[in-house]
Amino acid sequence: MKRYERFLFTLMHEKASACVAWLESLDITPTESKVDSYFTGGGGRGDRICVVDALLPIGDDRPDRLSDALANRGLRPGTYTRREEINYSKADRLAAVGCAVLASPNSKVQTGVVYGTQYDWSKACMNCGIGRRQAGPLIAKRSQLPKGKMFVLSESGDMLINQRLRDELVAKVDGTAACLGPVVERDTLEPMDYWQILTRVTLPPHHLSTIGMHCEACPKCGHPVCGHDGTVPYQPAFNLLGTAQGQLAPFMKTFERWGFYEINSNDLRSAVVPLVGLVVRRDVLRILLDLKVRGIELIPVRSI
C-alpha cells in the first residue's frame, strides 16, 4: 500500500502549458489532460478546459513545497484540489475480507425509470426514495452500452456487467447466478448480453472507524445518505470480524445509501434516488483482478 497526494488544477487550455512549466521548475512532473469543451448558456461553444495533475508520494517534501509555493502566489485550496490517495496492491486487496467497488456513473448510459423499468414504491420513503424495489427486468438501450466494457455504472446507479464477466463469475463463484438479473433492450424487450448486479444482502452499518465518508439522515425516514470526503480516501470498515467467506454473499450492499435524492410524488418517473454501495467477496474480487476490469476502484474492507 502506497500513499500519495494529488494536486489537480483545472484551467483554460491556453494556460495549461505555463502551469506545467511552473510545476516542472519545482521538480514536479505533472500530466495534462484535455476536457471536453464547455458550452455557454447561450448555446455557443465555450472555452477549452484542461486538467493538470500532479501525483506526489507522501513522505516526499514536494507536496509541502508545492503547497507553500501556491500560497506564495496567492492561491488557496478551492482554486485547486489537493487530496490524499492510496494505491493498493493486489496482495493488499486479496488479504481483505472483500472490497468496496467504486465507479463513476456513465452519463451516456440511461436505465431505470427513463426507459420504463417498473418499481414498487409501496414501502419507499417518499422523501428520499429508499425502500423502492425494482419490480421487473432492467430496461436499457443497446446502442448506449459501451462495447467490450465489463463493468458499467449507469447514470441512475444501476450496475451492469457484460456476458464475459458474467460467465466467469457463474462458472467460478457459487451463488452468483442468483445475484444477476437480465437487462432487456428498450425497443424489443429482448434480453441483451449485459446483466444487472442485484444486491440482495445488506451489510451492517459502517463501523465508526470508517474514514473518508460523511452522512446525513433523511429528515423523513432517518436513513443515512452519505458521500465521500473529497480530500481523504474512503477506507470502509464493518463489523465482520470472525465472519467466514462462506457466510458472505458474492455481492453485498451497504446499509447506507450514497449521493443525493430528488422525489416528486406527482411524477415518480423523474425520481432520483440515492445509490447502493457495492461490496464484493474475495472470490469475486479475484476474478475482477484477474480479468483486469477497468473503470472501477477496489477499496479493501477492514473487518472490525
pLDDT higher at 268 or 127: 127
Cα→Cα distances 58→4, 64, 79, Å: 5, 10, 22
pLDDT at residue number 46:
54
Burial of 155-173, coded b for 16+ CB within 10 Å and e otherwise, reads bbbbbbbbeebbebbbeeb
pLDDT averaged over every residue in the chain: 92
Q: What is the pLDDT of residues 99-117, one digit of tens each?
A: 999 999 998 999 988 889 9
Tell me the β-bridge partners of 197: 180
pTM over 0.85: yes
Domains of the chain with CATH codes: 2-87 (3.30.70.120), 91-303 (no CATH)
- The pLDDT confidence band at residue 231, using thresholds 50, 70 and 90, is confident
Cα→Cα distances 34→9, 14, 77, 108, Å: 12, 11, 22, 19
- The pLDDT confidence band at residue 250, using thresholds 50, 70 and 90, is very high
- Kindly tell me if the per-residue pLDDT of 39 is higher than 60: no
pLDDT at residue number 220:
96
- Kindly tell me if the per-residue pLDDT of 193 is higher than 50: yes
Q: What is the pLDDT of residues 198-221, one digit of tens each?
A: 999 999 999 999 999 999 999 999
